[in-house]
């Protein structure tokens, strides 16, 4: 068992002010795999002070130099990729092979991408008699979730550091060990003290302290819509910038001319990834009424291939959920679906008989789900798919748009052109066209109560930048002089 007893503040591993510890539970064994410090408000204040003191120097560092540090972090993470995959599989429960590709491969790629992009970015432009410059927003508090822990950390930290911001990271206390490894990599890369700080603890203490802090200029948060609302309320007292990536209830709309087996398989896969613990999971499958029976049969057959088991074993496609609390939450939603009259096609609330240990839930599919039912409206965050029928495209669009969320979705049709036409009617941040794959460099974020702001690619870095206009007399030489970078 690991024991992490220090926080990373101002370039040093320091003893926390808070004396309590938090256990980190292995999702597949239910055993304690590590302990971490439970920081308090004093620790949060020290981290913010370090970030504030480091900001002037880091923000003035040429982008090429910032790129050099990001490349070192990229290489450092790559060197520890196997350790990271093992760690995240233990924390989260995603099967090891997938963890290596997604949970580790994506954040490594992100640091490498921002190392390249920061040197190509247009930091200044001229419009009329003004020079418009982009400058870092300041000290950023990054508060990250447990489902894709290092991926979400990298999406925020790499972009913020590239922009010239300094960072205080509060990782999820449920899956924090990967963040400590990142801190070790950043320290080994020689990043100046105070540019990156790590404070572990619980949201109501560390999170609240960071969001309310007058020296924090921006909060970037990924998590539940409920927590996002609270962050917005607390941050409003200091009028700080807030970027939120929140929940989802994404619809996969299958049109009547789609390749049905391919579309259903793609939808089930998009729903069950990471045992359904994905904010952008396609948890509602909309099919024409005339094709329901066929679609339901295919979905059940596809679900049979999603074997549950030990995420370290090499054969399971679905690992456990993150915690006992999450397992009970998902089971209660499954029971709610049964109670409200949905047709249970496979799975159910009972624990898998051959897995007495671990937070496992059966992959579950409901048919003939009413669009306004609980399981069709609320984010379950588990391997649960709802099949909903529609009569025409207009009704499909109404159903797809008929939730509080607008994070992701998919459209399947006989041609990309037809799919794209319908996709433009969906009030959601990203839509997969005929199984289009996730793009690390395209903007990621949502409409409505799925949040505000975007991550990934240049769009993600722009969230951490301010605009400043410098007005000159017309024809001033300064307008044509070369930019400092």
Mode of pairing for the β-strands spanning 451-452 and 241-245: antiparallel
Summarize the confidence of residues 38-57 as an average pLDDT: 98
C-beta atoms surrounding 335 within 10 Å = 12
List the structure tokens of 420: 């794209």
177-188 vs 149-163: helix axis angle to the nearest 10? 30
Number of other CB atoms surrounding residue 160 within 10 Å: 30
Q: What local confidence, expressed as pLDDT, does residue 1 receive?
A: 85
Does the structure show a pLDDT above 70 at 467? Answer: yes
> With 70 as the cut, is the pLDDT of residue 476 above it?
no
**Candidate from 20-29, 151-160, 466-475 with smallest mean pLDDT:** 466-475
CB 299 within 8 A of CB 365: yes
The yes-or-no verdict on residue 431 having pLDDT over 90 is yes
Active site residues: 245, 279
pLDDT tens track for 153-183: 999 999 999 999 999 999 999 999 999 999 9
Helix (H, G, I), strand (E, B) or coil at 50: helix
pLDDT of residue 478 exceeding 80: no
Dig out the tokens for 258 from the structure. Answer: 């789609």
Give the whole-angstrom CA distance, residue 352 versus residue 354: 6
374-421: pLDDT as tens digits: 999 999 999 999 999 999 999 999 999 999 999 999 999 999 999 999
Examine the pLDDT at 339 and tell me if it is beyond 90. yes
DSSP 437: P
Q: What is the pLDDT of residue 485?
A: 52
Q: Environment class of residue 128 by beta-carbon count within 10 Å: exposed (0-12), middle (13-18) or buried (19+)?
A: exposed
pLDDT tens digits, one per residue of 294-321: 999 999 999 999 999 999 988 899 999 9
**What distance in Å separates the CA atoms of residue 327 and residue 311, rounded to the nearest whole number?**
16
* Residue 176 CB-half CA count within 13 A: 30
Give phi and psi for 254, each to the nearest 5. -105, 115
Average pLDDT, the chain: 96
Q: What's the CA gap between 369 and 215, in Å, rounded? A: 48
What is the per-residue pLDDT for 481? 56
Do 181 and 87 contact (CB within 8 A), yes or no?
yes
Task: Delineate the domains of the chain, giving CATH numbers in brackets.
Answer: 2-246+446-469 (3.40.605.10), 250-433 (3.40.309.10)
Where helices occur in 133-249 by DSSP H, the ranges are 149-163, 177-188, 208-212, 225-235
Q: How large is the average pLDDT for residues 136-162?
A: 98
pLDDT tens-digit readout, 247-258: 999 999 999 999
Rounded distance, CA 389 to CA 266, Å?
18
pLDDT the model gives residue 475: 74
Neighbours of 418 (CB within 10 A): 18
Is the pLDDT at 432 greater than 70, yes or no? Answer: yes
Crossing angle of the two packed helices 63-79 and 105-120, in degrees rounded to 10? 160
Q: Given this model, what pLDDT does residue 202 score?
A: 96
State phi, psi for 121 to the nearest 5 degrees.
Answer: -70, 140
pLDDT for residue 274 is more than 90: yes
Contact predicate 428/439, CB 8 Å: no
């Amino acid at each position: 068992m690991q024991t992490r007893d220090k926080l990373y503040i101002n370039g040093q591993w320091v003893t926390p002010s808070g004396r309590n510890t938090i256990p980190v539970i292995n999702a597949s064994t239910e055993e304690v795999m590590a302990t971490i410090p439970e920081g308090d408000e004093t620790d949060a204040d020290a981290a913010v002070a370090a970030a504030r003191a480091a900001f002037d120097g880091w923000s003035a560092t040429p982008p090429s130099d910032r790129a050099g540090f990001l490349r070192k972090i990229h290489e450092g993470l790559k060197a520890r990729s196997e350790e990271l995959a093992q760690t995240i599989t233990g924390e989260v429960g995603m099967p090891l092979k997938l963890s290596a590709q997604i949970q580790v491969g994506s954040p490594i790629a992100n640091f490498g991408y921002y190392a390249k992009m920061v040197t190509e970015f247009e930091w200044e432009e001229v419009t009329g008699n003004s020079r418009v410059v982009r400058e870092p927003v300041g000290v950023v508090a990054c508060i990250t979730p447990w489902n894709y822990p290092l991926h979400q950390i990298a999406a925020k930290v790499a972009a913020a550091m590239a922009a010239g911001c300094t960072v205080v990271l509060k990782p999820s206390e449920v899956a924090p060990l990967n963040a400590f490894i990142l801190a070790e990599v950043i320290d080994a890369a020689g990043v100046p003290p105070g540019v990156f700080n790590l404070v572990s603890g619980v949201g109501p203490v560390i999170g609240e302290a960071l969001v309310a802090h007058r020296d924090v200029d921006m909060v970037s948060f990924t998590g539940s819509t409920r927590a996002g609302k609270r962050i917005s309320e607390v941050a409003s007292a200091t009028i700080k910038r807030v970027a939120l990536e929140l929940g989802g209830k994404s619809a996969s709309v299958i049109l009547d001319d789609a390749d049905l087996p391919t579309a259903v398989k793609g939808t089930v896969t998009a729903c069950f990834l990471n045992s359904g613990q994905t904010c952008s999971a396609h948890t509602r499958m909309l099919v024409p009424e005339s094709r329901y029976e066929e679609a339901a049969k295919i979905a059940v057959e596809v679900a049979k291939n999603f074997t549950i088991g030990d995420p370290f074993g090499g054969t399971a496609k679905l690992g456990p959920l993150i915690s006992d609390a999450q397992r009970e939450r998902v089971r209660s939603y499954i029971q709610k679906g049964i109670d409200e009259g949905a047709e249970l096609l496979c799975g159910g609330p009972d624990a898998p008989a051959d897995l007495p240990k671990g937070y496992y839930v059966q992959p579950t599919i409901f048919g003939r789900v009413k669009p306004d039912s609980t399981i069709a409206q609320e984010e379950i965050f588990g391997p649960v798919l709802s099949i909903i029928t529609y009569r025409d495209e207009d009704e499909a669009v109404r159903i797809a748009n008929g939730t509080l969320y607008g994070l992701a979705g998919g459209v399947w049709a006989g041609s990309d052109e037809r799919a794209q036409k319908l996709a433009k009617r969906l009030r959601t941040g990203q839509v997969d066209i005929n199984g289009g794959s996730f793009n690390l460099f395209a903007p990621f974020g949502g409409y409505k109560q799925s949040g505000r702001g975007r991550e990934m690619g240049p769009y993600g870095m722009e969230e951490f930048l301010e605009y400043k206009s410098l007005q000159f007399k017309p024809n001033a030489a300064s307008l044509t002089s070369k930019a400092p970078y």
